Structure 1
């Protein structure tokens, strides 16, 4: 069985993330969306909230599962028999960082990284930009799944109160 992981923080999950996950689902028998759980980082959504949003977003693909991890991604992969990481690349600047990460990961465990270029319509998209635009009242409805948009809108409204 060919297993891969799509790691990230997904705070929140965007249509760009979903695009990469869906494309990975067509290439591998099983894809695990690996949600980074780092209590020291200040996230808009908790790890469980991010995983819930992802579970709903990936429901069209029966071969995609969502799981959280803390610590090293390579340990997560080794414990689950995952030998491939799938990473989306938006621009050359992503490649510089992701190449170093891929080389470090392969030095720690028998894991290969596959780079998938983002679809052009998502090449600018980042969770941090979505949060920033939404915070200032901008329309992000084309950038995130509808269920994520409602939770994002609700969360930002509750922070204003």
Structure 2
């Protein structure tokens, strides 16, 4: 189940790209039903991210952690943000619902099988930061937190998102 949450959280990071498709459709064809559905799906995906974080806070497995090293892990976010603007390049002329569902399915499969994960720009807008964190016994995690971390000893209690991801509770 935890892998499903991780995958769902990061596939939903593509939600703003659906809003971009809606805007490109609106720009190209004027108000249409598919523009409305793309915008609605994008907004639902963004709300889903917030729901998943809240559900993890309330129901996630809590444990103590001792970190020996942390480093910022936001560098790859630029690549995800670029996908938000791709629909404007082609004005989304050939993008259909089936193509969008196929892309989201392929992204979901890739993220499900991956142990590392890209930072989520929507979470960044909500004030979360991403760190590569190494525990005292050498295990490396992606740590999501709402604080700027300078010292690994600042992190005491976390919730497990998946085998490779933690959410700090402050």
Q: Is the pair's TM-score, using the shorter chain for normalization, greater than 0.5?
A: no
Query: Per chain length, whose mean CA-contact separation is higher, i.e. which structure has more relative contact order (CA < 8 Å, sep 6+)?
Result: 2
Bigger helix share? 2
